[in-house]
Amino acid sequence: MPDRVPENPERHDDDARLLDGTPGIAGSSEPVKADEVAEADAVSEDKPRQNVMLVWLKEIVTVVAIALVLSFLLKTFLFRAFWIPSESMESTLDVNDRIFINLLVPGPFDLQHGDVVVFKDTQNWLAPVEKKPAGPMDWVGNTLKFVGLMADEGEQHLVKRVIGLPGDHVTCCDAGGRVSVNGVPLDETYINPAEVPTPQQFDVTVPEGKVWVMGDNRNHSADSRLHQETNGGFVNIDDVEGKATVIAWPINRWTVLDNYPDVFKNVPAGNPGK
């Protein structure tokens, strides 16, 4: 039987010569000088190194871009970060805690009694914030604000707990100094245990589209009780940015925030149309 003939005898011969140690170029029988071989080897070594660097840089840029886009989407549709500047919610939230709020509440999901909410200060409960002069590193903070990892100090927000929903009749105080909702006194286990709340009388019915909010640190919270001259002390549900869900920082305070359903389990539904 005849031997199999290679498809390209010349190419196979040249490959064989190179593998045998005889200098040559595929398709040519002329010898190649040693320095030319060395130069070619150097170019071939540099090129892969450059390619690896470019691939690495592209991967880094891609990862950063994807992370920024995902953070922006999360901020826009799911979660947003805020920090706590005051003691009004102690000991649930301490000063300088970082929290994430769920932007789907209110929205697809309704507010519930006991929810801790962040809302815009459209009724000027807070004193105006003095604008800081621009600095060279502002772009860092602006980027973090854009993707939702830092709160915008230029927007005034407050954080309180929802006590009354639309239609609820909220009063204070009974013989034990407790708040009542629709005639049911509340044993509010989330209130700051360090101080007994000072009784402060009020009797309100929450209008449709609004909520009645109070701080867990009752003696140090300028909440619905102290702002009844503006909008009756109620917060517009449209101003609620979201429900606080977790404490994200500092690490030793990582926790999921509770709305204490047992506190409100015996409260009958209010009458929003009333």
Q: What pLDDT digit, counting tens, does each position of 35-60 carry?
A: 444 444 544 555 555 577 787 787 78
- Whether residue 270 is contained in a domain is answered as no
* 152 plus 33 within the same structural domain: no
What are the pLDDT digits (tens) for 201-220?
A: 999 999 999 999 999 999 99
Instruction: Give yes or no: residues 120 and 69 share one domain.
Output: no
pLDDT (tens digit, 9 = 90+) per residue, 229-247? 989 999 999 999 999 999 9
Does residue 88 have an active-site annotation?
Answer: yes
| pTM attached to this predicted model | 0.68
| 90 & 151 share domain | yes
120 is annotated as an active-site residue = no
Could you tell me if 153 and 23 lie in one domain? no
List 47, 91, 120, 160, catalytic entry: 160
Domain hosting 55: range is 7-77
pLDDT band with cut points at 50, 70 and 90 for residue 270: confident
Same domain, 40 and 54: yes
Q: Is residue 274 part of a domain?
A: no
Could you tell me if residue 160 is inside a domain? yes
**Domain shared by 159 and 62, yes or no:** no
Catalytic residue chosen out of the listed positions 88, 145, 210, 243: 88
Residue 77 pLDDT > 70: no
Residues 158 and 198 in one domain: yes
The answer on 44 and 86 residing in a single domain is: no
Label each residue of the chain as H, E or C: CCCCCCCCHHHHHHHHHHHCCCCCECCECCCCCHHHHHHHHHHHHHHHHHHHHHHHHHHHHHHHHHHHHHHHHHHHHCEEEEECCCCCCCCCCCCCCEEEEECCCCCCCCCCCCCEEEEECCCCCCCCCCCCCCCCCHHHHHHHHHHCCCCCCCCCEEEEEEEECCCCEEEECCCCCCEEECCEECCCCCCCCCCCCCCCCEEEECCCCEEEEECCCHHHCCCHHHCCCCHHHCEEHHHEEEEEEEEEECHHHCEECCCCHHHHCCCCCCCCCC
Q: Note whether 128 and 183 are same-domain residues.
A: yes
